[in-house]
Chains A and B, each alone.
Chain A
Amino acid sequence: MAEKSLKKRKSFRDLLMTSDGAISVMVVFLGFLCGTILILAVGRNPVGMYKAILQVLTGFNVDRQRFYVRYIGEWLAQSMPLILCGLSMAFAARTGLFNIGGEGQYVVGLTVAQMVALMGPQVPVLHWMLALTLAMAAGACWGGIVGWLKARFEVSEVVATIMLNYIALYGSRILIMRIPGTNTYKTPDYPTTALLDSSFLSRITHGSTLNLGIIFVLLSVLAYWFIIEKTRLGFGLRATGFNKEAARASGIPVVKSIALSMAIAGAFAGLGGGIVALGSFKFGRVLANNDGYGFTGIAVALVGNNTAVGTLLAGLLFGMLSSAQPLMESNRIPKEITFIIQGLVVVFIAIRVGFRIFLKYAASKKAKRETQDNE
């Protein structure tokens, strides 16, 4: 009898101990639980939050008993930059770097894409392809600088990326405001050859902002997986992440790897910026403050445990939270609950190591008790 219960307990605990995915799911669940408690504590009805989430995932509005497909489209559209910024942070993390510069790399990509859209050759398809490519390149440069500084001068990438985030934001304002015809918050409309719109996608989602960018997002996830798991470069990066000195001793060029890793990470975020610039808007924007996707990307990567599939799923999760905000507002739930859940998730993930220690302690206590019982 006792043996059977021991076996059953063991398997659940084992799952938590060994599977990082299970921990992530548990952390998200805990985050939602705390969020629900918080909403209750301030006297609002948490059901409103879940109704909003349901509507975003399936389009089904519980109150009106109708499907609104547009919400699914918005959900996917919102997830796009989050997935990309998550990939950005995750890629650097695999090399052992903490890339919180996703925000700045995103802004740089966005700025370049806007500039190419307004000043580039108006050839269909090639126009936005050029814009996106240059956006990726710009993001790569912005990330690469940090990587180079870290590798060459041992500058902490944490502080360097944050400084570059602010520099990118203000620099973007300076550059965009120089484009003729721009006032303090928007530029002239883009030529239609630059837009990422797809009439097919808009039609099936009844007018959401879902655009061609989704193809590139999926390609990026694939590319991420391929580079990390299947190429020599990826192997070198992972080795550097696990143990820099051992990697160096094995002949892996550590300095180049760090710089390259940050550059590729920057490219992902830059692509995100480009897609948002050309997919979600019909004109360029003079950024007043950060869009925030870069910072949320950090949480996405952490929950996704720096894997391709995990980041994709986590990005969809956070995208869901984000696109549910207006619906939550109409159900009288302050939209900031999503930020709180995100923050809690990050803190909980950080203590995942501690959680394992707790599990080990509990397991050893139980085993001790059982051996004492058997005596």
Chain B
Amino acid sequence: MLVSPILITATGGMICERSGVVNIALEGLMVFGAFAAATAHFFLEPVLGPLSVWVALFIGALFGMTFASIHAFASISLNADQTVSGTGINLLASGVTIFLSQIFFKQDRTKQFMLGMMPGPGGIYPTAWIALAVLVIAWFILYRRPFGLRLRACGENPQAAASVGINVLGIRYVAVLASGFLGGLAGSCLVLTTNTQFNSTTVNGHGFIALAVVSFGRWKPLGIAGASLLFGTALAFSIIANDYEILRHLPKEVFNIMPYAITLLTLVIFSGKNYAPLAAGKPYEKGSS
């Protein structure tokens, strides 16, 4: 339930970074997606019933993709500092979503919808299947199709890629938009499965945890699957820890800290800078070598 959004976002982040664009805005994209999905679901629920959950998911993903296009435009066409424009999107996200909430709902959060996504057979939410599907599709495209190969080339050495005629800027655009779509999708999954409304603490750093997951997972699909499992479990643990008698002696904030502390620790121990795509974060200028 908590693993899926992280996994989906991390997949998006992996695609984006593999093409050479660092995407710090994952958190903001999740926020946009979550807000859009909660709002859409609230409005559509009386009309469409259970189907509206899926429509809301899609709308959330589209919303995320729209805002990712700002980051794409800034980083790819205008050669902006990718970290700065990413942070700008994050700041924008928290502002725009609450602003729109005020306009639509006259309060700082969306109105509650009736029924979110319900667990399917075996108590597993459909979002888990969505996440797995996303991961498998991503792996397939990245490793088994020419497009994926070109994408990976853009991240490692864009000049070499351009010399064989690959449209580096175009591919990077697609990658950033894809990560926006996935980030929005993940945010939607998050809000529809864990809550009945969107507020400012819905995506509480999950986007950044996804960033760490990408790094910890060495930018490979299998790695980030395992990492997402680890961090999602830590997050879930902080919620259910209250049920265990022994653990109740510790202040509950200790469990809130755990996911973030674990993330930090893994970053330190597995400092994976050497595994990053070589050209990640550097703007690509046509014709330079």
List residues of chain A with CB under 8 Å of any chain B CB.
Answer: 38, 42, 98, 100, 149, 153-156, 158-160, 162-164, 166-167, 170-171, 173-174, 177, 289, 295, 298-299, 302, 334, 336-344, 346-347, 349-355, 357
In contact, B91 and A299 (Cβ under 8 angstroms):
yes
- Name the distance in Å between B183's Cβ and chain A's nearest Cβ: 16
Extra contacts besides A346-B92, A347-B88 (4): CB < 8 Å = A164-B260, A338-B95, A343-B91, A350-B74
B112 within 8 A of A: no
In contact, B271 and A154 (Cβ under 8 angstroms):
yes
In contact, B91 and A160 (Cβ under 8 angstroms):
no
In contact, A346 and B260 (Cβ under 8 angstroms):
no
Question: Bound complex: CA of A344 vs CA of B263, how far in Å?
Answer: 30
A-B contact count (CB 8 A): 138
In contact, A171 and B80 (Cβ under 8 angstroms):
no
- Name the distance in Å between A208's Cβ and chain B's nearest Cβ: 26
A167 contact from B70, B96, B264, Cβ within 8 A: B264
In contact, A162 and B257 (Cβ under 8 angstroms):
no
Q: With A153-B271, A156-B215, A170-B253 given, is the CB distance from A42 to B103 under 8 Å? A: yes
In contact, A155 and B267 (Cβ under 8 angstroms):
yes
Q: With A42-B103, A159-B263, A171-B253 given, is the CB distance from A339 to B81 under 8 Å? A: no
In contact, B208 and A354 (Cβ under 8 angstroms):
no
B126 within 8 A of A: no
List residues of chain B with CB under 8 Å of any chain A CB.
Answer: 24, 70, 74, 77-81, 83-85, 87-96, 98-99, 102-103, 200-201, 204-205, 208, 211-212, 215, 251, 253-254, 256-257, 260-261, 263-264, 267-268, 271, 273
In contact, A289 and B201 (Cβ under 8 angstroms):
yes
Residues of A within 8 A of B96 (CB): 336, 339-340, 343
In contact, A163 and B79 (Cβ under 8 angstroms):
no
Residues of B within 8 A of A337 (CB): 95, 99
A354 contact from B79, B92, B200, B268, Cβ within 8 A: B79
Q: With A42-B103, A166-B205 given, is the CB distance from A177 to B212 under 8 Å? A: no
A353 contact from B70, B80, B89, Cβ within 8 A: B80
- Name the distance in Å between A344's Cβ and chain B's nearest Cβ: 7
In contact, B263 and A163 (Cβ under 8 angstroms):
yes
In contact, A166 and B257 (Cβ under 8 angstroms):
yes
- Highest count of chain A CB atoms <10 Å: which of B78, B204, B251, B273: B78
B84 contact from A166, A302, A357, Cβ within 8 A: A302
Residues of B within 8 A of A349 (CB): 84, 88
In contact, B74 and A339 (Cβ under 8 angstroms):
no
In contact, B81 and A353 (Cβ under 8 angstroms):
yes
In contact, A350 and B84 (Cβ under 8 angstroms):
yes
Q: With A159-B208, A346-B84, A351-B74 given, is the CB distance from A340 to B99 under 8 Å? A: yes
Residues of A within 8 A of B78 (CB): 351, 353-355, 357
Question: Bound complex: CA of A184 vs CA of B260, how far in Å?
Answer: 23
Question: Bound complex: CA of A149 vs CA of B24, how far in Å?
Answer: 19
Q: Name which residue of chain B comes closest to A345, CB basis.
A: B88
- Name the distance in Å between B28's Cβ and chain A's nearest Cβ: 9
A339 contact from B94, B211, B257, B271, Cβ within 8 A: B94
Residues of B within 8 A of A158 (CB): 24, 83, 211
In contact, B84 and A336 (Cβ under 8 angstroms):
no
- Highest count of chain A CB atoms <10 Å: which of B74, B90, B99, B201: B99
- Name the distance in Å between A216's Cβ and chain B's nearest Cβ: 27
Question: Bound complex: CA of A160 vs CA of B208, how far in Å?
Answer: 10
In the A-B complex, the 6 residue pairs with the smallest Cβ-Cβ separation, listed nearest first, are: A354-B78, A339-B95, A343-B92, A346-B88, A347-B88, A336-B99
- Name the distance in Å between B202's Cβ and chain A's nearest Cβ: 12
- Name the distance in Å between A95's Cβ and chain B's nearest Cβ: 15
In contact, B268 and A149 (Cβ under 8 angstroms):
yes
Q: With A163-B263, A347-B74 given, is the CB distance from A339 to B91 under 8 Å? A: yes
In contact, B99 and A347 (Cβ under 8 angstroms):
no
- Highest count of chain B CB atoms <10 Å: which of A159, A163, A164, A339: A163
Q: With A155-B268, A347-B74 given, is the CB distance from A334 to B102 under 8 Å? A: yes
Q: Name which residue of chain B comes closest to A338, CB basis.
A: B95
Question: Bound complex: CA of A327 vs CA of B91, how far in Å?
Answer: 22
Q: With A156-B215, A171-B253 given, is the CB distance from A162 to B99 under 8 Å? A: no
- Highest count of chain A CB atoms <10 Å: which of B204, B215, B267: B267
